[in-house]
Amino acid sequence: MTRHSLSLLLRNEPGALARIVVLFSSRGVDVESLSLGPAGSGDLSRLDVDVALQSGRTLAQLIKQLGRIVDVKNVVDRTHDEALELPA
């Protein structure tokens, strides 16, 4: 399995998160963590998600499939971004 961090900008509409979760489920994507919150004026939400992909699945393929969901406005791969470490 390969692990990736994604950040999605999506319309704040009923069922938007459910459509993304159904896509993950049907494609065998394992969600390791998920954070959802408002972005901007309230009509958009930001979804940060860490996923593990089965062998044979590519990140490019997943991003393309997410982009086909009408509620998704943008998908960014944050896998190689520097992590913020909080002091102990």
* Predicted pLDDT at 11: 94
What's the predicted TM-score (pTM) here?
A: 0.86
Q: Domain extents for the chain? A: 2-77
pLDDT digits (tens, 9 = 90+) for 26-74: 999 999 999 999 997 789 999 999 999 988 889 999 999 999 999 999 9
| Between 88 and 32, residue with greater pLDDT | 32
Superfamily of domain 2-77: ACT domain (3.30.70.260)
| pLDDT exceeds 80 at position 4 | yes
Buried b (16+ CB within 10 A) or exposed e, 52-79: ebeeebeeeebbebbeebebbeebeeee
